[in-house]
Structures are given as C-alpha cells and as structure tokens.
A = this chain, B = another copy of it.
C-alpha cells in the first residue's frame, strides 16, 4: 500500500470559502466579534465533485492508495480574528474532512487542524484534538509553530505553553505535522519561503532545546522534505556535536516527508536521512500544480522520484507504508471506523 501522509483539502466547494469570507469580514469590522458556528451547506455530491477530478483522479493516475487528508493549510489562518474565529472555522474544516473520509474511506484518512489563536492558551486545541481523535477517528493533527502568520511573536515549541498539547498527543498516540499557514507578513511568500523556513525553524527549536526527550511518545513530521534540513544535514550534525545536542535522539521523534519536487532533492533526502525517518508524501493538490516541461511529469508527482531513487524495494515500502503506520498508529483505527 502506498500512503501519502500529506494532503490538504485544497479544492473545497465554494460554500466553504464563502463562509470563511463572511467570518473574516465580520471580525475585520469588530475584532471582538464572536459570531456563531452556523452552517456550511454542502451536499455529498459537491464534495464528490470537488475530489473526483482532482485528488482522487491523481491518486489513481499516480498509483497511490491512501492520503492522510487535512484541511487546507494556507487557509488555517490562525492569525485572523480571535479564539472564537479560529474555533468555529476549525470545527467546520475538520468536520468537512471527516465527511470526505466517510465518503471515501479507502482513499482518505483524517488529520485535523487545530483552533490555535495568537495570545490564547493551547487548551482549545487540546479540546478539539480530543474531539477529532476521540469522537471522529482522526489519526493526527497539524500544529502551526507560528500562529502569528509570519511575525513569529508566539512561544517556541519548547515553551510550556505547548505542553498540554504535547501531553494530549502522547496520550492519544497521534503525531503532529508541523505546518504553518498563510503568511500575513509581506516579507514571506506563503508556500515559497514561509513553509520551508518554518520547517527548518521548528526542527532547530527541537534540536537546540532537546525538549522532545521529555515526551517519549511525542512525534512530529516535518513536511516539505524537512525544509532546508536534509540539504544542510552536515551543518546540523556539526552544530549538534559542537553544542552537545542529541541529534540521534531527536530522530526518534522526528520524520521528514518526501514533498521535494525534483529528482536530485529526493536523492539527497534518501541518501542522508535514515530510511525510518522518511514518510512518503506529495502534498497534492498543493503549492506546485504544473508539469516540468523537461520531463513531461508533474512536479509534485513525488512517487516518480522515489521510484527512481537509489533505495531498495524493502526501503521504498517502509517509506510508503510501514514507517507511516508506525508514526500514525491510529491509521488502522481511523480506517476501521468508516
């Protein structure tokens, strides 16, 4: 089985965006706006239509089986509005992902976003994680290390602010993919520099602080091939040796996905990162939609790169299946529920 551990519902029916735009408008007019959940009216047929020509078609064409599916990352927008804004929006988005997985239980397994909101406690995220995993069979969550949207004004991942979430993730045995949302800072391009910078930043927070050793069961997935980390593997290993940081110990907690959109990048990833720390992913339909004119293949068809990389069939299977089942043990449970 080929599991893609990183997919977002980027093709939602128009009613989703419309609901969010109305909410954004209300909270722009009144920053204390609370509002209510309300309804987002979407039929099952609309959901099917939004996926059949996109993610489902591409799964079939590319030969992947199951996608770990979460709400659109760039739309999480934790910096927008207040705790209520984030909560109502998050609940809708997660329930929509649950519906997708109920409609296509063979194709998708649910991963939730969290209702983070700058300057508020992490408790709301703990509550939503419990709801999603405990009541709705989710298998993981996305954790935004910078809910300020590119100003990095919140506490680093090693801060006690996060501990209730780390404890709940350990208790529920679900990993977190470290994934920022859209940048509202014009210095950053959301998918070009903010995502990759955040990946590297989060890894470095974990490495330099060593806090993950206090949470033996805590697991993070660093997406987008780990940002700059594998390319600078020697830099990070060397810094760790200079500073006495436990690099190898960290690798018991951290995996990297394969969202690197060219052959030499994937070659480097599988060469330097231990195979057990690599999880197959493509993030389609995502940051790069086009086809490489030189190869005639889609940039984000990462399966092709992995097929051509120097890894044994056994290792390829680990990357595509057993590593992911190890990091996301609830995957079996989540699927069985449907």
Q: Taking beta carbons and an 8 Å cutoff, which residues of A are in contact with B? A: 145-146, 150-154, 156, 185-189, 191-193, 196-197, 200-201, 203-205, 207-208, 224-225, 227-228, 230-239, 241-242, 260-265, 267-268, 271-272, 287-290, 292-293, 299-300
Are A201 and B193 closer than 8 Å at their CB atoms? yes
A sample of 9 inter-chain contacts (CB < 8 A) reads: A188-B204, A189-B201, A189-B204, A192-B208, A193-B205, A197-B228, A200-B228, A234-B260, A262-B272
A236 partner residues in chain B, CB cutoff 8 A: 192
Bound-state Cα–Cα, A287 to B300, Å: 33
Q: Given A192-B208, A207-B192, A238-B292, verify A187-B265 contact (CB < 8 Å).
A: no
Copies of the protein in its oligomer: 2
The answer to whether B208 touches A232, judged by C-beta atoms less than 8 angstroms apart, is: no
Contact of A265 among B156, B232, B239, B241 (CB under 8 A): B232
A264 — which chain B residues lie within 8 A by C-beta? Answer: 233, 268, 271-272
A189 to B188, CA, bound (A): 18
Please determine whether B272 and A187 come into contact, CB atoms closer than 8 angstroms: no
Given contacts A187-B152, A189-B204, A292-B237, contact A260 B231 (CB under 8 A): yes
